[in-house]
Protein backbone atom coordinates (compact mmCIF):
# COMPACT_ATOMS: atom_id res chain seq x y z
CA UNK A 1 0.00 0.00 0.00
CA UNK A 2 1.33 3.44 -0.97
CA UNK A 3 0.92 5.45 2.25
CA UNK A 4 2.19 8.63 0.61
CA UNK A 5 -0.41 8.36 -2.16
CA UNK A 6 -3.13 7.65 0.41
CA UNK A 7 -2.21 10.83 2.29
CA UNK A 8 -2.16 12.82 -0.95
CA UNK A 9 -5.57 11.43 -1.90
CA UNK A 10 -6.98 12.51 1.46
CA UNK A 11 -5.66 16.05 0.97
CA UNK A 12 -6.94 16.21 -2.60
CA UNK A 13 -10.36 15.00 -1.52
CA UNK A 14 -10.51 17.62 1.24
CA UNK A 15 -9.49 20.37 -1.18
CA UNK A 16 -12.24 19.48 -3.64
CA UNK A 17 -14.72 19.15 -0.80
CA UNK A 18 -14.11 22.84 -0.20
CA UNK A 19 -14.55 23.56 -3.91
CA UNK A 20 -17.85 21.67 -3.83
CA UNK A 21 -19.17 23.76 -0.95
CA UNK A 22 -18.53 26.83 -3.11
CA UNK A 23 -20.15 25.04 -6.09
CA UNK A 24 -17.08 25.72 -8.19
CA UNK A 25 -16.92 24.12 -11.66
CA UNK A 26 -20.56 23.10 -11.30
CA UNK A 27 -21.45 23.62 -14.97
CA UNK A 28 -19.40 23.97 -18.14
CA UNK A 29 -18.73 27.53 -19.25
CA UNK A 30 -19.78 28.48 -22.83
CA UNK A 31 -16.24 28.20 -24.19
CA UNK A 32 -15.82 24.87 -22.41
CA UNK A 33 -19.03 23.59 -23.97
CA UNK A 34 -17.60 24.21 -27.44
CA UNK A 35 -14.42 22.31 -26.58
CA UNK A 36 -16.47 19.53 -24.99
CA UNK A 37 -18.41 19.10 -28.23
CA UNK A 38 -15.15 18.44 -30.05
CA UNK A 39 -14.00 16.03 -27.37
CA UNK A 40 -17.26 14.11 -27.54
CA UNK A 41 -16.81 13.68 -31.28
CA UNK A 42 -13.40 12.05 -30.91
CA UNK A 43 -14.34 10.02 -27.83
CA UNK A 44 -17.08 8.40 -29.92
CA UNK A 45 -19.18 7.36 -26.92
CA UNK A 46 -22.16 5.30 -28.02
CA UNK A 47 -25.30 3.74 -26.51
CA UNK A 48 -24.56 0.53 -24.66
CA UNK A 49 -20.90 1.27 -23.97
CA UNK A 50 -19.27 1.02 -20.57
CA UNK A 51 -17.39 4.17 -19.58
CA UNK A 52 -14.97 4.73 -16.72
CA UNK A 53 -14.80 8.37 -15.61
CA UNK A 54 -12.09 8.90 -12.96
CA UNK A 55 -12.34 12.18 -11.08
CA UNK A 56 -15.95 12.85 -11.99
CA UNK A 57 -16.32 15.76 -9.56
CA UNK A 58 -19.87 17.05 -9.31
CA UNK A 59 -21.07 15.03 -12.26
CA UNK A 60 -21.25 17.69 -14.93
CA UNK A 61 -19.58 15.38 -17.48
CA UNK A 62 -21.14 12.26 -15.95
CA UNK A 63 -24.57 13.56 -16.93
CA UNK A 64 -23.43 13.97 -20.55
CA UNK A 65 -21.89 10.50 -20.64
CA UNK A 66 -25.05 9.02 -19.12
CA UNK A 67 -27.13 10.47 -21.93
CA UNK A 68 -24.69 9.16 -24.55
CA UNK A 69 -24.63 5.59 -23.19
CA UNK A 70 -28.30 5.09 -22.35
CA UNK A 71 -30.30 2.98 -22.06
CA UNK A 72 -28.17 -0.13 -21.50
CA UNK A 73 -24.62 1.15 -21.06
CA UNK A 74 -22.74 1.98 -17.87
CA UNK A 75 -20.93 5.02 -16.49
CA UNK A 76 -18.67 4.17 -13.56
CA UNK A 77 -17.68 7.54 -12.09
CA UNK A 78 -15.19 7.88 -9.24
CA UNK A 79 -14.01 10.78 -7.12
CA UNK A 80 -12.05 11.37 -3.92
CA UNK A 81 -14.40 14.12 -2.73
CA UNK A 82 -17.60 13.03 -0.92
CA UNK A 83 -18.94 16.58 -1.23
CA UNK A 84 -18.46 16.56 -5.00
CA UNK A 85 -20.20 13.20 -5.26
CA UNK A 86 -23.09 14.54 -3.16
CA UNK A 87 -23.59 17.26 -5.77
CA UNK A 88 -23.44 14.64 -8.51
CA UNK A 89 -26.17 12.63 -6.80
CA UNK A 90 -28.35 15.73 -6.63
CA UNK A 91 -28.44 15.70 -10.44
CA UNK A 92 -30.74 12.67 -10.37
CA UNK A 93 -28.55 10.62 -12.69
CA UNK A 94 -30.06 7.45 -14.21
CA UNK A 95 -29.64 3.97 -12.81
CA UNK A 96 -26.83 2.96 -15.18
CA UNK A 97 -24.55 5.55 -13.53
CA UNK A 98 -22.49 4.30 -10.57
CA UNK A 99 -20.94 7.01 -8.38
CA UNK A 100 -18.06 5.67 -6.30
CA UNK A 101 -15.98 7.47 -3.67
CA UNK A 102 -12.49 6.12 -4.15
CA UNK A 103 -9.14 6.18 -5.87
CA UNK A 104 -8.48 5.67 -9.57
CA UNK A 105 -6.00 2.92 -8.73
CA UNK A 106 -8.76 0.64 -7.37
CA UNK A 107 -11.64 0.13 -9.80
CA UNK A 108 -14.12 -2.51 -8.68
CA UNK A 109 -14.72 -4.04 -12.07
CA UNK A 110 -13.29 -7.13 -13.71
CA UNK A 111 -10.55 -7.13 -16.34
CA UNK A 112 -11.40 -5.79 -19.81
CA UNK A 113 -14.71 -4.32 -18.68
CA UNK A 114 -14.80 -0.80 -20.14
CA UNK A 115 -14.98 0.52 -23.70
CA UNK A 116 -13.57 3.94 -22.80
CA UNK A 117 -11.64 5.53 -19.98
CA UNK A 118 -12.20 9.28 -20.06
CA UNK A 119 -10.07 11.57 -17.88
CA UNK A 120 -11.32 15.11 -18.35
CA UNK A 121 -9.54 17.80 -16.30
CA UNK A 122 -8.30 15.24 -13.77
CA UNK A 123 -4.94 13.70 -14.72
CA UNK A 124 -2.72 16.21 -12.84
CA UNK A 125 -4.66 15.47 -9.65
CA UNK A 126 -3.93 11.72 -9.70
CA UNK A 127 -1.44 11.14 -6.89
CA UNK A 128 -0.25 7.83 -8.40
CA UNK A 129 -0.38 8.45 -12.12
CA UNK A 130 1.43 5.29 -13.15
CA UNK A 131 -0.66 3.18 -10.79
CA UNK A 132 -3.82 4.70 -12.22
CA UNK A 133 -2.68 4.08 -15.81
CA UNK A 134 -1.97 0.43 -14.98
CA UNK A 135 -5.45 0.09 -13.49
CA UNK A 136 -6.99 1.72 -16.57
CA UNK A 137 -5.13 -0.80 -18.75
CA UNK A 138 -6.44 -3.66 -16.62
CA UNK A 139 -10.10 -2.69 -16.90
CA UNK A 140 -10.07 -1.51 -20.52
CA UNK A 141 -11.17 -3.81 -23.32
CA UNK A 142 -8.52 -4.75 -25.92
CA UNK A 143 -10.21 -2.55 -28.52
CA UNK A 144 -11.02 0.26 -26.07
CA UNK A 145 -9.34 3.64 -25.71
CA UNK A 146 -8.03 5.89 -22.96
CA UNK A 147 -8.49 9.65 -23.29
CA UNK A 148 -6.74 12.35 -21.26
CA UNK A 149 -8.25 15.75 -22.04
CA UNK A 150 -8.10 19.30 -20.75
CA UNK A 151 -9.61 22.60 -21.80
CA UNK A 152 -6.13 24.17 -21.71
CA UNK A 153 -2.76 23.15 -23.08
CA UNK A 154 -0.05 21.83 -20.80
CA UNK A 155 1.83 25.12 -20.30
CA UNK A 156 -1.31 27.12 -19.54
CA UNK A 157 -2.71 24.49 -17.21
CA UNK A 158 0.51 23.96 -15.28
CA UNK A 159 0.89 27.72 -14.86
CA UNK A 160 -2.68 28.00 -13.62
CA UNK A 161 -2.18 25.27 -11.01
CA UNK A 162 1.13 26.73 -9.89
CA UNK A 163 -0.54 30.08 -9.21
CA UNK A 164 -3.65 28.55 -7.62
CA UNK A 165 -4.10 27.09 -4.14
CA UNK A 166 -1.11 25.40 -2.46
CA UNK A 167 -2.89 22.03 -2.51
CA UNK A 168 -2.74 21.90 -6.32
CA UNK A 169 0.32 24.06 -7.06
CA UNK A 170 2.42 20.97 -7.88
CA UNK A 171 -0.31 19.20 -9.86
CA UNK A 172 1.00 19.23 -13.41
CA UNK A 173 0.53 17.51 -16.72
CA UNK A 174 3.72 15.59 -17.50
CA UNK A 175 5.86 16.53 -20.48
CA UNK A 176 5.14 14.53 -23.67
CA UNK A 177 8.16 12.26 -23.13
CA UNK A 178 7.09 11.40 -19.57
CA UNK A 179 3.46 10.87 -20.57
CA UNK A 180 4.44 8.49 -23.35
CA UNK A 181 6.89 6.64 -21.10
CA UNK A 182 4.33 6.17 -18.32
CA UNK A 183 1.69 5.06 -20.80
CA UNK A 184 4.04 2.50 -22.30
CA UNK A 185 5.06 1.18 -18.88
CA UNK A 186 1.38 0.78 -18.01
CA UNK A 187 0.65 -1.18 -21.19
CA UNK A 188 -0.58 1.59 -23.48
CA UNK A 189 0.56 3.09 -26.75
CA UNK A 190 -0.11 6.80 -27.30
CA UNK A 191 -1.59 7.14 -30.79
CA UNK A 192 -2.71 10.78 -30.71
CA UNK A 193 -1.17 13.73 -28.86
CA UNK A 194 -2.44 17.29 -29.19
CA UNK A 195 -1.05 20.03 -26.95
CA UNK A 196 -2.03 23.54 -27.98
CA UNK A 197 -2.78 26.75 -26.12
CA UNK A 198 -6.44 25.96 -25.47
CA UNK A 199 -6.66 22.21 -25.78
CA UNK A 200 -4.88 19.10 -24.57
CA UNK A 201 -5.89 15.70 -25.90
CA UNK A 202 -4.15 12.35 -25.61
CA UNK A 203 -5.53 9.09 -26.97
CA UNK A 204 -3.93 5.80 -25.94
CA UNK A 205 -4.76 2.20 -26.81
CA UNK A 206 -3.63 -1.03 -25.23
CA UNK A 207 -0.40 -2.46 -26.59
CA UNK A 208 -0.63 -5.58 -28.70
CA UNK A 209 0.74 -8.54 -26.75
Looking at the DSSP bridge assignments, the partners of residue 100 are 78
Q: What is the pLDDT of residue 1?
A: 44
pLDDT in tens, 20-33: 999 998 999 999 99
pLDDT in tens, 92-138: 999 999 999 999 999 999 999 999 999 999 999 999 999 999 999 99
Residue 167 pLDDT class (50, 70, 90 cuts): confident
Q: Among residues 79, 76, 147, which one has the least CA distance to residue 113?
A: 76
Extents of the domains making up the chain: 3-22+45-206
Q: What is the pLDDT of residue 209?
A: 64
How big is the chain, counted in residues?
209
DSSP line for 103-162? -TT---S-TT-EEEEEEES-GGG-SSHHHHHHHHHHHEEEEEEEEEEESS-HHHHHHHHH
In angstroms, the CA 181 to CA 178 distance is: 5
> What number is the average pLDDT over the span 190-195?
96
In angstroms, the CA 65 to CA 55 distance is: 14
Lowest mean per-residue pLDDT among 54-63, 73-82, 160-169? 160-169
> What number is the average pLDDT over the span 155-175?
90
Residue 3 pLDDT class (50, 70, 90 cuts): very low
In angstroms, the CA 119 to CA 186 distance is: 16
Q: Among residues 119, 121, 79, which one has the least CA distance to residue 98?
A: 79
Alpha-carbon distances of 129 from 18, 60, 181, 199, rounded to whole Å: 23, 23, 12, 20
pLDDT in tens, 35-72: 999 999 999 999 999 999 999 999 999 999 999 999 99
pLDDT at 164 over 90: no
15 secondary structure, DSSP code:
H
The CATH topology of domain 3-22+45-206 is Rossmann fold (3.40.50)
* Residue 72 exposure: Cα atoms within 13 Å on the Cβ side: 1
Residue 5 pLDDT class (50, 70, 90 cuts): low
Helix, strand, or coil here: 61? helix
> What number is the average pLDDT over the span 165-192?
94
What value does the mean pLDDT of the chain take? 94
In angstroms, the CA 183 to CA 112 distance is: 17
Residues contacting 124, CB < 8 A, separation 6+:
157, 158, 161, 168, 171, 172, 173
Amino acid sequence: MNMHADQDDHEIGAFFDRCARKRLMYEFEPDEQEKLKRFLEVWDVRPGQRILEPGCGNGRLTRVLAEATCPDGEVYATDLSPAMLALARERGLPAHVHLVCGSAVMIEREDQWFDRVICLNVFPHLSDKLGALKEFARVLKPDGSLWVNHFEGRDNLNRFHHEAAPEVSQHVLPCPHTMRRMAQEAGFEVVEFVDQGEVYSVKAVKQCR
